């Protein structure tokens, strides 16, 4: 389904509609989405993100980078992370998914939705509940510089009391990436309090973090919202 205008114009149209008719922005977005043939604005945004060229992300990363990928649900953060792993595999690099969210079968289905047929060498899929910084470091020990790993997702690392505090885990992962040249991407959730009226894409302060971590843990961050993808440096 082709949109009648670029996403940024549709977002502006929704804001003007909300102002002119004195209605909440989400209601205006829903009306614009309906005009475009979608039952919800989130579905329109997801379609735009799915059509975006995200394969350009890998060339913008350097060995030892620690990348944050953050968005609200349904805005393409998982797709972006999985696409990054597939691009790394196609480039002949070792790649691995550490998921506390998906089963191995579910992860394979997501990969197949992105690439059919899959490359001969596909990313490793690790789904054990034992995933934490120490587990990831041990699994990737000896991985060549430039290997790419993805953690799905940040907040779950902090859920089990038997694991170290999130800040300690992230510092350990940062030290590992810097010393080995492994590229580590981390998917994270944005808090419900984020309002797109204030900023078109969220920022680090919008992360849902029960236990805080410093922003400079990450060297780069990629924030997504309503079809917009913004990559920025963090140091």
The verdict on 70 and 135 lying in the same domain is: yes
Sheet with 124-126, side-by-side order of all strands: 124-126, 95-99, 148-152, 183-189, 66-71, 220-225, 228-233
pLDDT grade for 163, boundaries at 50, 70 and 90: confident
pLDDT at 132: 95
CATH of the domain at 182: 3.40.50.300
Question: Looking at the 3D structure of the chain, how many domains does it have?
Answer: 2
- Return the pLDDT at 110: 92
- 194 located within any domain: yes
Residues 44 and 128 in one domain: no
Residue range(s) defining the domain that contains residue 43: 7-51
106 shares its domain with 175:
yes
Same structural domain for residues 28 and 101? no
Cα(123)–Cα(84) distance, integer angstroms: 10
Give the model confidence (pLDDT) of 182-203 as tens digits: 999 999 999 989 987 778 899 9
Do 45 and 101 fall into the same domain?
no
176 and 138 together in one domain:
yes
108 and 178 fall within a common domain: yes
pLDDT score at 47: 67
How would you classify residue 55: left for phi > 0, otherwise alpha for psi between -120 and 50, otherwise beta?
A: alpha
d(CA 94, CA 51): 26
Q: What is the pLDDT of residue 56?
A: 72
Question: Which distant-in-sequence residues (6+ apart) come within 8 Å of 130 by Cβ?
Answer: none
Asked if residue 228 is part of any domain, the answer here is yes
| Residue 2 forms part of a structural domain | no
Buried b (16+ CB within 10 A) or exposed e, 36-64: bebeebbebbbbbbeebebeebbeebeeb
Alpha helices of the chain — where are they, by DSSP H?
Answer: 7-21, 25-35, 41-51, 77-90, 104-114, 133-140, 166-180
What does the pLDDT look like over 79-134, one tens digit per residue? 999 999 999 999 999 999 999 999 999 999 999 988 878 888 899 999 999 999 99
pLDDT for the residue 149: 98
21 and 66 housed in the same domain:
no
pLDDT tens, position by position, 23-81: 998 899 999 999 988 888 877 876 665 555 445 789 999 999 999 999 998 888 999 99
Rounded to an integer, what is the distance from CA 168 to the centroid of its chain?
22
DSSP letters, 194-205, are --TTT-SS--GG
Same domain, 144 and 67: yes
Decide if 154 is inside a domain.
yes
Instruction: Using a pLDDT cut of 90, give the percent of the chain over it.
Output: 63
Report whether pLDDT(210) > 90: no
The answer to whether the beta carbons of residues 80 and 54 sit under 8 Å apart is: yes
Residues 216, 107 within the same domain: yes
* Residue 1 within a domain: no
Task: At 64, list the tokens.
Answer: 């030892």
Q: Is the same domain home to 44 and 122?
A: no
Instruction: Give, for 187, the enclosing helix (H) or strand (E).
Output: strand 183-189
Q: How far apart are CA 128 and CA 212, in angstroms?
A: 25
Whole-number mean pLDDT of the chain?
89
Q: Are residues 39 and 81 in the same domain?
A: no
Is 223 a residue whose pLDDT tops 90? yes
Determine the pLDDT at residue 48. 65
């Amino acid at each position: 389904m082709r949109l009648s205008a670029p996403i940024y114009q549709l977002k502006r149209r929704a804001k003007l509609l909300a102002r002119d008719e004195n209605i909440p922005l989400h209601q205006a977005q829903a009306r614009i989405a309906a005009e475009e043939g979608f039952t919800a604005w989130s579905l329109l945004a997801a379609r735009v993100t799915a059509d975006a060229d995200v394969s350009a992300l890998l060339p913008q990363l350097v060995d030892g980078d620690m990348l944050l990928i953050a968005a609200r649900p349904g805005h393409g953060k998982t797709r972006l992370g999985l696409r990054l792993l597939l691009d790394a595999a196609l480039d002949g690099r070792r790649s691995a998914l550490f998921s506390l969210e998906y089963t191995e079968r579910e992860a394979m289905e997501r990969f197949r939705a992105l690439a059919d047929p899959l490359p001969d060498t596909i990313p490793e899929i690790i789904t054990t509940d034992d995933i934490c910084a120490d587990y990831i470091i041990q699994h990737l020990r000896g991985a060549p510089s430039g290997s790419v790993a993805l953690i799905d997702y940040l907040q779950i690392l902090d859920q089990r009391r038997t694991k170290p505090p999130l800040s300690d885990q992230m510092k350990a992962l940062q030290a590992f990436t810097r010393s080995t040249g492994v590229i580590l991407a981390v998917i994270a959730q944005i808090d419900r309090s984020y309002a797109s009226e204030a900023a078109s894409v969220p920022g680090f302060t919008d992360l849902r973090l029960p236990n805080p971590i410093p922003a400079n843990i990450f060297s780069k961050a990629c924030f997504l919202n309503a079809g917009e993808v913004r990559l920025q440096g963090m140091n």
